[in-house]
Amino acid sequence: MKSYQVTGYGEALEVRDLEKPTPQGGEVLIKIAACGVCHSDVHLWEGYFDMGGGQKLQLGKVSAMIPFTPGHEIIGHVEVVGPDAKGVSVGDKRVIYPWIGCGECGVCQSGNENLCARGRNLGVHVDGGFSEHVIVPDAKYLFDMDGVADELACTYACSGITAFGAVKKATGLGADDALMIIGAGGVGLMGVRFAKAVLGKAPVVVDIDENRRSAALEAGASLALDPNDRDAIKAFMKSTGGAAAVIDFVGAEQTAQTGLKVLRSGGKLIMVGLFGGELKTPLPMIPMRAITIEGSYVGTPAEMAEMVELVKTGTIPPIPIETRDMCEASQTLEDLKSGKVVGRAVLTP
């Protein structure tokens, strides 16, 4: 099979001919139809996460060692099933839940496989979807999204479940409570759509890019603000008293600071993005304002199942999708890093 692999951090991906795996036990071999490109793929390709203060988390310690095949937003057809595989048949089209845990620890047993310390995440710890085929350890990680176009369906494996999981953490808002979303990239636009469907809220969106603000309004945001427009931010604070919840889909130092500033007392900042840096804030202000800072990492298998059923109802409008050939994987990572992608870029073999 042809795979596009990271063979040197930050270098162009190398196309390599690898042996197609044969599924064992309950494993399933998927012939890939489409794979989305995520900001996490950029970090994995670069080889580190920015921890702030000049510190970097080198990814060889927490992910697959190079060479490896990135890509975790995958849809494809079942090509071969292992002798013990159940619940799928050859030819079935399925989206893959890629945040696979060890299945044995207490975290996995509680249903939070996405938080497993011994994860087997596709495209992170084991080879992923920038390829023609991928092996999945169990059919329970395969979800039927019949009726949803391949190029869109695959994005729900990360962009979708990440947005859905974050929005679910903002449940319980009152009718007059303001919800703010920071970042209108592919995940943020998903967040706008899920906020309306799950919370019944048209969020206020903050982004520095005018095109992305326009995309957010088209997606259903009630207002789109430039964080550098101090008058607009002040007007928001005056009219709402501050946001009851802020979901930061960027995760940069500046966006986190913006999120803290616009929170009302008792509000919640939900951190999602992995852009990098560090958060500095006076500690006494956290209890004095009674604010909550909560991390959100993708979503659980149960949330994936819930989200899939919601998407299949047709109530979630699609995000903008740009389809590219798999041979453009390197350029797509470059474009995503430099902010040239609005919505989601999806690769097809």
- Model pLDDT for residues 56-108, shown as the tens digit of each residue: 888 765 666 789 999 999 999 999 999 999 999 999 999 999 999 999 999 99
Same domain, 151 and 19: yes
pLDDT grade, residue 53 (50/70/90)? Answer: confident
Structure tokens given for 222: 């009630």
More confident residue, 62 or 299: 299
Query: Which pLDDT belongs to residue 236?
Result: 98
Structure tokens at 147: 């009726």
Domains held by the chain: number: 2
Same domain, 319 and 253: no
pLDDT exceeds cutoff 80 at 44: yes
CA angle at 197 for the pair 249 and 95, rounded to the nearest 5°: 70
Same domain, 19 and 143: yes
Confidence at 181, pLDDT banded by 50, 70, 90: very high
pLDDT at 63: 67
Least confident of 73-77, 78-82, 332-336, 340-344: 340-344
- Structural domain harbouring 83: 2-158+299-348
pLDDT in tens, 118-153: 999 999 999 999 999 999 999 999 999 999 999 999
Same domain (yes/no): 148, 286:
no
Judge if 15 and 119 occupy the same domain: yes
Shared domain check, 34 and 139: yes
In angstroms, the Cα distances linking 91 to 32, 45, 77, 156 are 12, 32, 5, 21
Residues 70 and 88 in one domain: yes
Whether 107 and 226 share a structural domain: no
Residue 292: helix, strand or coil by DSSP?
strand
Q: Are residues 230 and 280 in the same domain?
A: yes
pLDDT the model gives residue 87: 95
Spatial contact of 308 and 314, defined as CB atoms under 8 Å apart: no
Give percent of the chain with pLDDT exceeding 70.
Answer: 99
Tens digit of pLDDT for each residue in 220-243? Answer: 999 999 999 999 999 999 999 999
Partners of residue 136 on adjacent β-strands: 28
Q: Which run of H or E residues covers position 262?
A: helix 253-262
Kindly report the pTM of this predicted structure: 0.93
